[in-house]
Structures are given as C-alpha cells and as structure tokens.
Structure 1
C-alpha cells in the first residue's frame, strides 16, 4: 500500500473507534512490562543481597570467634586470678584487625572478661543467647539485643582441659549491616532505573518502527480492512489463487475452490499445499521463475475452459509470490453473445430509423414542392415494399425473433445501399427451441453483417447479398452470399480463429469465431463455399432434433 492508497483508506473507509493509539499502547505495555520485571528483580535482589550480607557477616563473626577460642593464652587466662587483665589486651587488636563491632569474652556465669567498653567488664553479658554454647558446647550465629544494640553474633565455647570455661561472642551491629545493605541497594536500584529508562526509550523506537511498518494503521483499522478484504475476496465471481515464492498456496477464495473441486464434494482447503499438487497444469511456477505476467491465457480445469491472468508479487523489488485469477470462459462467451445479439438489434433498429427518417424527408420535400401525386406514389411504393417483406417473412418465417432480425438486416442493407435479397423458396416454419434459436440469431446476425460490410466495398459490380434458408430435411440450412472481394482459399481454415480477420483495424476477428462456437454448441456447423455473386458464401446447418 502506498501513501496515496493509505490516504484513500483514511478518507473513504469508515474507521473503527480507536480509544488509544497503537504507538502509545505499545509504549505503555512494553514500559509497564519492563518496569514490573525490573521492580520484581530489584525486590528479589534486595532481599537476596540482605540475606547474603547477613549470612556472610554471621559466618565471619563465627570464624573470628572460633579462632579466638582456640588461642592457648586465652584458655589459660580463665585460671588466672584476674582473667580480664590478660584477655582484654589479647582480643582488642583482633577486634581492630577484623573490623568487628565488638568482641566479648565471658565465663560460664556470663561475666565479661573482655568488652569494647572497659566500664562494662565484670558485668553480666546481655542477650540471653549464650546457653547453647555454655551448656551444649555449640558454635552458632544468633541475633540479639546486647549492650551495644541489636547485632549479629558468632558464639563459640572456650575449652580448657576439655571443659567449657567460657564463651567468645563476636558481633556486628544490625544498623551497620543495614547501612551496608542500603549502599548496595542504592547502586542496584540506580542501575535498574537506567535499564528501565533505556527499555522505555527502546519501546518508543519499537512502537514507531512497527507503526511505520503498518503504514500508520491501528490494529482495529487493520482488522476492519482484513474483514473487508476477506468479504470482497470471497464474494468475487472470479477464482483467485496466490502462492509464495516456494510455490505453496497461501490463498484460495470460494470461487477458486468451486472450480478446483467437484461441487458435489465438500470443499477442501488447499492452503499450504504445492500448487503443482493441486493444479498440475498451472503456470504459476513459471511466473515465479521468470517474474513475467500472463494475461488472458486459456486453461482447462475440471473439463471447464477458463481465462487466466497470472501476475508476480513484488515487495521492495524482491519476488515474494504470484497470484492467479481465472473465470469460466463459457460465461464470458455467453455474455459476448448476448452483447453481440443486442448490438445486432440496435443496428437493425438504427438502420430502420435512419432509413425511415430519409423517406420522411423525401416525402416532406415532395409536399413542399407541391408534388402530391409523386409523394402519394412514393408512399405507396415504400409501403408495398415493406408490406411485401413483412408479408413474406410472416408467411415463411413464423418465429418473431428470426423474422425481426431478417427484417432489420433488410433495412440496414438498404440504408448502406446494398441490395439484400431473400431468395424465392426460402422458408423456416419448423419451431426451434429457445436455446437453439438464440444461437441461430447470433450466427445470422454476424454472417449477414459481414456480408453487407463485404458487399459495400465493391465499387464496380452490384452490391448484393443473397439469403436463402430452408427447413426441408433433417437440418435447417442458411446460405448467405455476397458480391464482395471474397476470401482467399489459403485463409479458409483461419477465418474461424478468434482474433484473425481480413479487415483492417483493432478489435476484429471475433464474429466468425463466435458464430462457429454458437453453431457447434447447437450441434450444427458452418462451411465456406464459392459464391455465385463472386464473393463469399457461408452455409450454416442446425439439426432439427432437440439433441445436439
């Protein structure tokens, strides 16, 4: 679809109600999706980092406490009169080196021998979480509120000669841990915010690109166009089949299915099948190979002759498929016959009108010249001629349609200064069935028309057309002679070929072809013979019986 076509759709199609434009909708949806994903990821990572940092600090505290509990000097100091004087100087450098918030050492009565605050040495430990270490000898990590606040603690018992003599508690304050977690989280959320921002910018570009690919159409408009296209495609009388570049069928409308398959059977969808499998005689693979179009080619599908057009499909100068449209040729021929017959009636009426107008002006002139006797004589003469023709045709040709076309051609010949004679002995009293009569009318109209055109080109001998017909015997026979130039013998077999003509000019070569098709359909035939008038003589035969 080009810009002009898109503007045409914008202008003439009844557009559906679109509340939110596709571009904005895509930006909102993609932006929301990205935001939710990264918020979820951020929350998860925050809790993951918090848990990981707390676990690592707890393990570090436990490791430091374990190392301190195995120092021999510390173990021996519990037997000294003043353990704090040995233990406090021993653990203070370790606290500074490890970065622990506190290192507290206490005896089995939970009396402190070491503490960051010297004033609290000798006082009882706070937290009530020392029993597993002092009673059961366990090493563990706990959270409790001590003298310095809420903290993560590593608790390890101290042994001396296989007897628990105290406990080492190494801890980090929760406030410090949360501050560390907050620092990491702030960096995490900043990175996630940048990613979400880039994602929204990307969503804007994606939405713009997709909108451009859709020629600015909204999804509701595309749906509307799709339904409209599908309705048009399925309601058209022409069969339509499209294939991709690999020759696989991508589209086939209802009219195509009716031609491809027996109408008494269920219509089977050929979508996705190779065109050669469904329609072996198809030339669509050739179109895919050459990229050339085919127009008005005859083809036989299921015993029916169709006219086919084949056109390649290009996208950005690349061949991506081909489409074929076809229609029943019989319907087209029937329509052509009807149009030809209508044209013949119109020509006959126009000839009669023109000739009658000429005669009226002749009578008017005689009256103005006060030649009443000549005017009356002329009227009687013309009236007698018309009456003779009408009387003869009514007597010899009772069928009103055949009667009418012969009378019309008589007037047309007179107008063009060609003498048309219906020979004595001509008769057609046998009643023809309607279908055969219509076919005979097509043949007669074309042949007499050609005979008059041929005779009027003769500038020397009389311009004459003779018509003879009879229904004596098993066939109805018509002979049409003319005094024209005739047809060369070497062209006798070609004149019935569609598109071939001995006359100059475009859009010729169809009359005799249609005539022969009509006669063959009626079970008859047409022959070319020598004419007594020097031109061409066509003989047509139609059997009387109702069977072809």
Structure 2
C-alpha cells in the first residue's frame, strides 16, 4: 500500500498536499488545548479574585463588628482623650488579624486610632462612613483612603442605643492582589503541565491516526474515494461489499440493475441473503465465475473475502450476466459436444477396426465382410433416420454425437422411429434445445452407467406435430426421490456426490423458460427419470 502510494505520488496522480496531516493535527489540537486552558485560567483567576476579595471583606467586617462591641472602646469615648485608650486596644488586634489598618472615629469622623500615630485626631478619608454613622449599618466598601485603595469593613459603635462612632477595618488592595497572584501561580503551573501533556498526546494521536490511514493525507483519501466511487459506478460488473455479518455496505448501480433492484432504495445494511441466497453458506469462500440463477437470469459470480489481521471482516462479490457470454459459452459447449462425439466415434471406429483385423488375421473373411456390411447398414440407417427426420443441423449433430457416446459407454440409446423435427427453429429456440437436451441426455447417461450392461437404457422421442416442439427423454436409472423434486432445478442443488454440480438443470430450465417453454419431470416406464421439454412454435421464428 505504501509503495503503491509513493509510486502514484511520483507520477502526480494525487492532489498536492499543502499541510501535513500530523502537523495539522498537532497544531490544531495544541491550539485548542491552549485556548481552553487560557479561557479556563482567566475564569479561575476572575473567580479566585472575587472569592478572595469577598472573603477579605467579610473578614474585615467581622473584625470591625467585634471591635465595635468592645466595652472599653465604648467607655473610652467619654474620656477627654479617647485615643490614649483606643489606640492601645486596636493596635494588637490589627497585628493579630493582619489588617492594614484599624481606624476608630467619632460621629464627626475624627480618628481616635490609626496605624500612623501622626494621623490621629485628623478626619477619616474615604467619605464612606455615612451608612454607619447615620443609618447604623454594618457593610463592606472599597474606597481610596490615606494608605491607598482598600477593602473595608465598617461597623457603628453604639452607647445607650445611640451611635457614637464608627470602626473601619481595612486590607489594602495591593496586598489582596499579591495573595491572588500567589494563588493563581499554582493554577497556571497546573494548566501549563496539562497543555504540555496535551501536546504530547496530540503527537501520539496524530501518529496513530496517520498509521491507521496508511500514512495518507486527507486530500489523498478524498481523491482516492472519488476515484474508487467513479470506478465502482462505471464498471459494468455488479459489485457488492458485505460486512462480517453479511449486511451490504456497498452496492453499485450495475449490481442494482442486474438484480432488478429499486434504484431509489438504499440497500445498505440489507442482508445479502435477501438478494443472493446462494452466498449464505459460502460467505468465507473464494470462488470465481460460479454460475447462479437469480430470478429469470443466470449470472457468473466471483467472491473474495476481506481480511483484517487474519480475521474475515467481510467479502466483495462481483457478478455479471451470463447472457453477455451466453453465445460464446454455447459455442464452446457445442464444440465440446462435437469433440466428445468425434472422440466417441473415433473410439468406436477403432474398436471395430480391431474386430475386423482380428477376423482377417484368422482368415475369417466371410465373417469380416458380414460384420462390415452389418455396421455399415447400422450407421447408414441411423444417419439416414436423423437426416430424414431432423432438419436442424446442430440438433442432428448433437443426437448423432450422443449416439456414438452411448456406444462408447455401453448404453443402449434408442430414438423412437416416429420421431421427427422438421420445423425451422429460431436461434433462441435452437440454443434452448441444445442446452437442455444435451444436459438431460448427459444426466441420463450418468444415471444408468452403474446399472448392469443390459439395463443401461436411454430412450428419446421428439416431435413437432401440433403447436409445440416436444422432446421426451427417459432412462432406466434410479430416478429422482420425491423429496428432491421441488429442488431439482435450483441452482447448486444436485443428487450427485462432490462439488461444482447442480448447474446443468438450472441452466436448462432458464434457457427453455426464456423462449416460453417448460421442462416437466415424470416417472419413466423404464424405471428412472422422464423429462419432457416443450417449446411453443409461435414464439419462435
């Protein structure tokens, strides 16, 4: 496959490939992974920022509410200089909770505590105390203060159910961002490792897929598919591909036409048994030009199993109409019949010459002359009878050849003296009679060959009196069992042992039915089979 592909590339049949599939897959998968990871990282960063800010805000608010409820803080507001007490109380708390500042102010916003002692006694900065001082609310705010942008927790200070001040606990935004950055680093490192693993996986996957595709590029596969589809649909042979379960996966238009299938019906996933029943028992077999009867026509079928890792995964079946080769096949069949007849005649003639030679060597001249006259009269009478009663030269030759073959086989072949065939047959009628008559006589010889010599009898009668041309062939063989009669003309059915039988009668029936005739089986007076071939005259000519 690889060598063929390289050779095809050399002559430029495949389209030009712009980007290698492996590189394309690695790049696209990597970009997808990077894009997903970046998007996910940004989302996590945003979510983490919001979460940390929310947590720091809640923490600041909780500390502010706790400080606002300290009795010493409330009592200090009644002193002349509250900052002396309050500053000492909140400083250790600030260090303990890690806040950037804890500011306590009165209702006017004057500071009583601050990390920078120089700012005690000055106004609080930010302008976000009104909700606490005027409405008594505890809340979280984000404002720019004297130390910078910070997240603050605000809580009012009550004394005797009156608001006397406010507590502001804050964490600087820069410090919070440092925490967020430190937390985000682990996320970025993790996603970086995931991207690296993803890229390695993309490389492995791309090599694996390329191997499954026999190292072909998508453009080459597409071109090959279109090329194969064109070949499949343009060929005159019917082609059907099936899977290991016997279901159709591919069928071309020629196959649908030969099988007379509906062109608008999708036969994919249809069982092959519905179209080619004879394939059922030989699905894994390799065969060539096997004759099968499909409907009213004969086809030549080829089958090749499809293997994957030494396991049968399906089969490809090809077939064509036998009628396309019918004339050539019939001509060859006739030549074979003529050859057999000539061989039998030569053999018989040689035997008679030896008899004559033996008589002459023993000086029995009178007996030799008598034998010669007897044989000459016998041959003359047989030839005269066929010449006078059979005007068709091919059927005449067939009967003469079968007579000589019968002599060679030791079979008594008798032709009814009242037989006649003077009607001018059409070419189709002639072909039908030659095919059916030749096969049935051959089967008759086969049926009687194991009998005792005196019991090897085959009788033929034919006539064209009336509206039909009729041939009757009976033998003294064992006959046909009752259970076999319904299957006698089926393709592949045979009472003979061995393989490659069961074609002759199927072909005979097909040939006779093609010209409007029929073949009937009855019980013979001789004890064996009795076949009647009838072909209407009016359909000929």
Q: Given the two structures, how large is their TM-score scaled by the length of structure 1?
A: 0.66
* Structure 2 counterpart of 1:329: 322
Match of 1:268 among 261, 265, 271: 265
* Structure 1 counterpart of 2:481: none
Alpha-carbon distance between aligned partners in 1 of 2:239 and 2:404, rounded to the nearest angstrom = 49
Equivalent pair of 1:469/1:476 in contact (CA under 8 Å)? no
Alpha-carbon distance between aligned partners in 2 of 1:519 and 1:250, rounded to the nearest angstrom = 33
Equivalent pair of 2:272/2:279 in contact (CA under 8 Å)? no
- Deviation for aligned residue 1:256: 1.6
Secondary structure of the residue aligned to 1:487 is helix
* Aligned 1:83-102 pairs, distance under 5 A: 83-102=82-101
* Structure 2 counterpart of 1:117: 116
* Structure 1 counterpart of 2:32: 33
- Structure 1's 5 and 336: CA in aligned 2 closer, same or farther, altered over 3 A? farther
- Deviation for aligned residue 1:248: 2.1
Equivalent pair of 1:462/1:483 in contact (CA under 8 Å)? no
* Structure 2 counterpart of 1:281: 277
- Structure 1's 206 and 469: CA in aligned 2 closer, same or farther, altered over 3 A? farther
* Structure 2 counterpart of 1:228: 227
- Structure 1's 74 and 305: CA in aligned 2 closer, same or farther, altered over 3 A? same
Equivalent pair of 1:519/1:542 in contact (CA under 8 Å)? no
Deviations 1:96-129 (A, max 9, x none): 1111111000001111001111111111111111
* Structure 2 counterpart of 1:476: 392
* Aligned 1:149-548 pairs, distance under 5 A: 149-261=148-260, 266-276=263-273, 278-279=274-275, 281-284=277-280, 286-288=281-283, 291-337=284-330, 340=332, 443=334, 448-454=338-344, 475-476=391-392, 478-479=396-397, 480=400, 486-490=407-411, 496=442, 547=540
* Structure 2 counterpart of 1:59: 58
Secondary structure of the residue aligned to 2:26 is helix
* Structure 2 counterpart of 1:367: none
Alpha-carbon distance between aligned partners in 2 of 1:543 and 1:281, rounded to the nearest angstrom = 32
* Structure 1 counterpart of 2:466: none
Deviations 1:116-160 (A, max 9, x none): 111111111111111111111111111112111111111111111
Equivalent pair of 1:470/1:476 in contact (CA under 8 Å)? no
- Structure 1's 455 and 518: CA in aligned 2 closer, same or farther, altered over 3 A? farther
Alpha-carbon distance between aligned partners in 1 of 2:255 and 2:73, rounded to the nearest angstrom = 100
Alpha-carbon distance between aligned partners in 2 of 1:208 and 1:132, rounded to the nearest angstrom = 66
Equivalent pair of 1:312/1:323 in contact (CA under 8 Å)? yes
Alpha-carbon distance between aligned partners in 2 of 1:94 and 1:484, rounded to the nearest angstrom = 128
Alpha-carbon distance between aligned partners in 1 of 2:109 and 2:147, rounded to the nearest angstrom = 16
Alpha-carbon distance between aligned partners in 2 of 1:58 and 1:194, rounded to the nearest angstrom = 33
Deviations 1:228-255 (A, max 9, x none): 1111112222222222222322111112
Equivalent pair of 1:287/1:322 in contact (CA under 8 Å)? no
Deviations 1:475-524 (A, max 9, x none): 53535579899431459778746xx9x9xxxxxx9xx99x9999968899
- Structure 1's 48 and 113: CA in aligned 2 closer, same or farther, altered over 3 A? same
Equivalent pair of 2:105/2:165 in contact (CA under 8 Å)? yes
- Deviation for aligned residue 1:14: 0.2
Alpha-carbon distance between aligned partners in 1 of 2:264 and 2:340, rounded to the nearest angstrom = 46
Secondary structure of the residue aligned to 1:152 is strand
Secondary structure of the residue aligned to 2:33 is helix
- Structure 1's 517 and 81: CA in aligned 2 closer, same or farther, altered over 3 A? closer
* Structure 2 counterpart of 1:44: 43
* Structure 1 counterpart of 2:73: 74
- Structure 1's 201 and 125: CA in aligned 2 closer, same or farther, altered over 3 A? same
Equivalent pair of 1:475/1:542 in contact (CA under 8 Å)? no
Q: How many residues align?
A: 413
Deviations 1:163-220 (A, max 9, x none): 1100000001111111111112222222211211111111111111111111110011
Alpha-carbon distance between aligned partners in 1 of 2:211 and 2:14, rounded to the nearest angstrom = 19
Secondary structure of the residue aligned to 1:297 is strand
Secondary structure of the residue aligned to 1:247 is coil
Alpha-carbon distance between aligned partners in 1 of 2:129 and 2:121, rounded to the nearest angstrom = 16
Deviations 1:68-94 (A, max 9, x none): 111111111111111111111111111
Deviations 1:442-499 (A, max 9, x none): 84x55555555555565576799997798877953535579899431459778746xx
- Structure 1's 162 and 256: CA in aligned 2 closer, same or farther, altered over 3 A? same
Alpha-carbon distance between aligned partners in 2 of 1:462 and 1:333, rounded to the nearest angstrom = 40
- Deviation for aligned residue 1:299: 2.4
Equivalent pair of 1:287/1:312 in contact (CA under 8 Å)? no
